[in-house]
Amino acid sequence: MNVPPHPHIGLQTVSWLFTGEVEHRDSTGVHAMVRPGEFNLMTAGRGISHSEVSTPETEILHGVQMWVALPADSKDVEPGFEHYVPEPVRGEGWEARVFVGSLLGESSPVRTFTPLLGAELLLDAESALVLDLDPTYEHGLLLDAGTLTVGDEDVEPGEMLYLGTGHHRITLSAGQAVRLVLIGGPPFGEQILMWWNFVGRTQEEVVAAREEWQQALYRDGQLVDDSTRVVPGRFGVVPDQHLPPIPAPVMPGVRLRPRS
């Protein structure tokens, strides 16, 4: 991974690695390492920029990165960053790390702006795990490795099984040893616009964010790196990162379509 400084608004980014290591730098001044078993949550809010560069020792970078849309009343919060190392919870034939929300008697202290659940689950071959779920939540089970059956549904590696609301309890049954990520939360209930690295509510909001990012990137028509940028704007400057920031792509010539 070699991603120079780029902007975000209206979201939180979730990083959870299985293998490899990434150096994170952002415009709030945070410098952190993203490692397996260590949870990193960046809040963009009204605007942030960051870079993500894997370490020279990393030969295989493997994990998940997810976006969390901020609700309308929190979309312009101050940017920030949280790092949390969840303690593993173990039972017969299984292990869990709860990085967001609560599960299996464990709760994460990480702040989110809507109720959420996120956990890595490991199951030994030919083992089973019964999970009690909040029935007001939707859930997704992303299978990374192994063979898995959830109730009467078979899940293949790389697939996500979606479970709508109303589930109080599920049984996970492993054939081959399983690694999966469980996510969940109540239905969001708001329409959003997603374009490039931005989550907004209106076309005008997204266009304005793009224009402000572009205006901060150039001096005398030339792209500048973050160490010499003189007009940081709402997205700030990523300290000690000399990779030139990424210009935004051209906006499409049509209205963006909202999604629920």
* Of 45 and 242, more confident: 45
pLDDT above 90 (res 220): no
Q: What is the pLDDT of residues 38-72, one digit of tens each?
A: 999 999 999 999 999 999 999 999 999 999 999 99
Q: What is the pLDDT of residues 189-198, one digit of tens each?
A: 999 999 999 9
Mean pLDDT within 201-227: 83
Beta pairing partners, 150: 153, 172
**Confidence at residue 144, expressed as pLDDT on a 0 to 100 scale:** 98
Mean pLDDT within 128-153: 97
Single out the residue of 52, 12, 50 nearest to residue 34, CA to CA: 52
Spell out the residues 6+ positions from residue 143 whose beta carbon is closer than 8 angstroms to its own. 155, 156, 157, 158, 159, 160, 161, 178, 179, 180
User: To which residue do tokens 């989110």 refer?
Assistant: 112
Confidence of residue 225 (pLDDT cuts 50, 70, 90): low
- Identify the weakest region by mean pLDDT among 18-32, 95-109, 233-247: 233-247
Mean pLDDT within 220-237: 69
Q: What is the pLDDT of residues 65-111, one digit of tens each?
A: 999 999 999 999 999 999 999 999 999 999 999 999 999 999 999 99
pLDDT above 90 (res 137): yes
**Confidence at residue 228, expressed as pLDDT on a 0 to 100 scale:** 57
Mean pLDDT within 135-158: 96
Enter the pTM of the model: 0.92
Element (DSSP H or E) covering residue 118? strand 117-123
Report d(CA 129, CA 150) in Å as an integer: 10
**Confidence at residue 161, expressed as pLDDT on a 0 to 100 scale:** 98
**Confidence at residue 217, expressed as pLDDT on a 0 to 100 scale:** 85
* DSSP classification of residue 192: B
**Confidence at residue 231, expressed as pLDDT on a 0 to 100 scale:** 54
- Quick check: 114 and 129 in contact, CB under 8 A? no
- Quick check: 64 and 97 in contact, CB under 8 A? no
* Of 229 and 122, more confident: 122
Report d(CA 147, CA 124) in Å as an integer: 11
CA angle 106, 107, 113 (to 5 degrees): 155
For residue 234, the SS3 value is: helix
**Confidence at residue 260, expressed as pLDDT on a 0 to 100 scale:** 82
Confidence of residue 218 (pLDDT cuts 50, 70, 90): confident
What is the overall mean pLDDT for the chain? 94
pLDDT above 90 (res 227): no
pLDDT above 90 (res 230): no
pLDDT above 90 (res 242): no
